[in-house]
């Protein structure tokens, strides 16, 4: 089995971090390296870490992507498991995930089956996707675990807070994007990995529970702000040009629709501020597109992404029907 490093990015994780690390250290075979990158927590979550865990204290909180990149620099294993502190690995997780990534050298990542910690019989995410209308989804969200097949299937990418990555693929794609602070970095990275020719498959036997919003709260103001802010610039900076032009009306509408739904949920100010800041970031994102050609050709990626979008459309309908 190829060795794997585990990188947990923590910010005020508290008891959630302790439970996460206990589940990591209980895996058999064990991870080769376990690193906690602490983004300047103000609680006591990293005061007494278990033996065998390396602590990297960051001087300030520069977000999830920057934390992951610090962990990548500090480790050497060919595979890297990234985790949020509000996750817990079920027995056999690491063996199943690494076996799946080992079996196909074209894969850049595998998407474990992320279960809701509140109701482990239901799925939180079975990877992530983009619909043909450029909306972001957590695949199979809310569906019952027993009703979702166990066969591997292609998805855009894994949920960043519980994902196993091939280090060489990450390096080719440019590593984790640090500009988003929170949210959409997994979409950005998945799009660049697809451009580099590295796909992602789901792994039903690699199961992990997820609380959601463990550091900043689920659908709080900060959550909504970053989700709304990062939508436009992420797509503008990473989507293949052909798809961007082809789906331009959807590109304009999707972030506005999402912001409207957030506003209806009681976070109008955060949603409006996020949309405004996101629009201001689009020119910078378009400038950054010049680096995409170094990763790989757009034609093959666009074809794969169109197929994945159709799969995401079908999945969204299935989730809506079950809700």
Distance CA 99, CA 107 (A): 12
Comparing CA positions, the residue from 103, 89, 198, 206 lying closest to residue 145 is: 206
Q: What are phi and psi of 279, to 5 degrees?
A: -60, -40
Overall pTM > 0.85: yes
Comparing CA positions, the residue from 156, 25, 179, 1 lying closest to residue 77 is: 1
Length of the chain: 323
Domains in the chain: ranges and CATH: 4-210 (3.90.550.10), 221-322 (no CATH)
CA distances from 12 to 38, 45, 106 (A): 8, 6, 36
Strands 128-130 and 136-138: antiparallel
Distance CA 285, CA 6 (A): 30
Digits of tens for pLDDT over the chain (323 positions)? 789 999 999 999 999 999 999 999 999 999 999 999 999 999 999 998 999 999 999 999 999 999 999 999 999 999 999 999 999 999 999 999 999 999 999 999 999 999 999 999 999 999 999 999 999 999 999 999 999 989 999 999 999 999 999 999 999 999 999 988 988 999 999 999 999 999 999 999 999 999 976 555 556 898 899 999 999 999 999 999 999 999 999 999 999 999 999 999 889 999 999 999 999 999 999 998 888 888 888 788 899 999 999 999 999 999 998 87
Comparing CA positions, the residue from 71, 88, 313 lying closest to residue 212 is: 88
CB–CB of 205/92 below 8 Å?
Answer: yes
Q: What are phi and psi of 102, to 5 degrees?
A: -65, -35
């Amino acid at each position: 089995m190829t060795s794997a490093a585990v990188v947990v990015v923590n910010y005020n994780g508290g008891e959630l971090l302790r439970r996460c690390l206990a589940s990591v250290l209980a895996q058999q075979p064990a991870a080769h390296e376990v690193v906690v990158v602490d983004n300047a927590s103000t609680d006591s979550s990293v005061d007494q870490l278990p033996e065998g865990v390396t602590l990297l204290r960051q001087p300030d909180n520069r977000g999830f992507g920057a934390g992951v990149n610090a962990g990548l620099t500090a480790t050497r294993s060919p595979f890297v498991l990234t985790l949020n502190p509000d996750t817990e690995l079920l027995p056999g997780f690491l063996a199943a995930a690494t076996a799946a990534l080992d079996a196909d050298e074209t894969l850049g990542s595998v998407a474990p089956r992320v279960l809701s910690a509140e109701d482990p019989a239901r799925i939180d995410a079975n990877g992530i996707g983009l619909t043909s209308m450029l909306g972001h989804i957590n695949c199979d969200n809310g569906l019952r675990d027993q009703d979702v097949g166990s066969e591997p299937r292609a998805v855009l990418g894994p949920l960043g807070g519980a994902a196993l990555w091939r280090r060489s693929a990450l390096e080719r794609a440019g590593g984790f994007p640090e500009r988003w602070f929170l949210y959409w970095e997994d979409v950005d990275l998945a799009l660049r990995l697809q451009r580099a020719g590295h796909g992602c498959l789901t792994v039903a036997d690699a199961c992990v529970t997820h609380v959601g919003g463990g550091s900043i709260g689920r659908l709080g103001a900060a959550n909504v702000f970053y989700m709304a802010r990062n939508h436009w610039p992420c797509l503008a900076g990473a989507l293949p040009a052909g798809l961007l032009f082809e789906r331009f009306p959807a590109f304009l509408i999707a972030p506005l629709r999402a912001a409207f739904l957030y506003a209806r949920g009681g976070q109008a100010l955060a949603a409006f501020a996020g949309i405004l800041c996101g629009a201001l970031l689009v020119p910078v994102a378009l400038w950054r597109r010049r680096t995409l050609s170094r990763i790989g050709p757009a034609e093959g990626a666009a074809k794969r992404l169109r197929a994945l979008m159709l799969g995401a459309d079908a999945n969204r309908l299935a989730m809506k029907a079950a809700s």
